[in-house]
Structure 1
């Protein structure tokens, strides 16, 4: 039985954002409607190596299609210095739900960046002002690129303000996007006053204050992915229409985890899940809204929805490498 092996380059080429965004939106809808299964992320702690493995399985049925798979991802902070490897790496096994046959094994690191950008785009579509043309980026690392790629698909972005302490990262970012957008470096208040703001930093102390934001800024809080991390001041979270992707994950390791654990923010301060807005159970942006915030931790359903789109595209254009994992007569 032939299986498709997809490298990071294959995923980058085949995970077209125009298709990944609606797939991730479908995943949010399926999760909200109860037609998706997503067991809690499980951890294998590796104290000996200062790292861990994380298993993220999911299945979803959106009516026209269904998909299943698992992402196996690590966090090893010592990798860059000791082994010249990334801190985070991932592999996705995408399977046929009917037969359980693995259809593809693909790079999960690139896929994670794509689906994370797509999640921000879905939230931006429902929560940002319709005529948003300016995008602020705080943190010019690799994830910032997919934020621009995705958000510019659903809003007419023409100006980007990027803020980062690393001069080289800022220059690389400006060089990359300078032909397609007006891009300039700014401080945090300049970036945060844009129509849409994406924060993609690993900080453990808030760096964005309420005064930094514009009157109607929508914020995609993407950086917090572990206990103790927080990019936005409590005042922002308490004032905003606050939307999350998953209650268990966001309260444990999302943007709201610190004030939630301290009791400064409660369930009463959370407007709802993004899935509730996607299916129409709750409103997205309305005329009376000022600032809105999407707390994104990243869900396995997003990975598998994006994996399906990547697989379909790769199969259609002949990308990747075919190999046999199972004997066909068994």
Structure 2
């Protein structure tokens, strides 16, 4: 029996964003097809400790992720992803921070490819934390970017992220901003990746046609999007039970009557059988579900467990 342990460097070297997007897309389609056993994640200390698990019936494989989240430290996310199957003794253990940012970006790539306009090429990223780079990489993979604006409260953080991404975005114009409402006015795509507890911008600040990804709020006390945007948009979510328990935006909009549960379409269904409507504004809201981690872990297992 062997246990293969992978750090961030090994994970990044092994899995491209394009591979991650394809794997996560297949995972959501499999979830819609009933291939997974996936309980809602366990959240302790108001989400500072999380445990997520998924079992893929066809391959008799399972993934368990444990992590801690603390936005007052760097990195904010730390933990492990463990992969195992019934037919072998070997296990794979991977760095949870790298898997989490990669799979979250990949889910945004899947949703953006499905929902954003084919010619969308202007992205505004709100949030310059650890999730930011993979948000940009994922969008750029499915919608090559002509312009990127990075928004952060502190300009130096936005500039640092812009500098990190510049070499990967050859030919993309990059700007920084400290105020979200003005920065989203000309965007084709907006990615929100913050720990905000109130909406980052009013719906009126957005153009008539726009796709918005919201990944930052993963507890009922957190919100990045206003009710008015959800009411005026086609809303796609990662998984119904997860967002009804954990997404502050969805919970608040349901409570105020801005939306109804029937207005929510799961990503797996949108990729397979469910029409997603024809509104000019679209929203993808994700709190993160275990099949995303399973999808990345399977890629790693295929590459490292021989």
TM-score (norm 1): 0.84
Equivalent in the alignment of 2:261: 267
Cα distance per residue 1:59-115 (max 9 Å; x no partner):
225x6x66421101123466x3xxxx644312000112434x342111011100000
CA distance in 2, matches of 1:263, 1:220: 22
Cα RMSD over matched residues? 2.1
Q: Contact 1:177/1:183 (CA < 8 Å) preserved in 2?
A: no
Mapping of residues 34-183 of structure 1, within 5 Å:
34-45=34-45, 52-61=48-57, 67-76=61-70, 80=73, 86-99=75-88, 101-179=89-167, 180=169, 181-183=172-174
Bigger mean CA offset, 167-176 vs 123-132: 167-176
1:191 aligns with 2:180: no
Q: Contact 1:118/1:150 (CA < 8 Å) preserved in 2?
A: yes
CA distance in 1, matches of 2:174, 2:147: 6
TM-score (norm 2): 0.91
Flag structure 2 segments of 5+ consecutive residues without an equivalent.
Answer: none
Distance 1:144 1:107, change over 3 A: same
Larger Rg: 1
CA distance in 2, matches of 1:89, 1:299: 17
Cα distance per residue 1:287-328 (max 9 Å; x no partner):
x42000001110100001111112333458xxxxxxxxxxxx
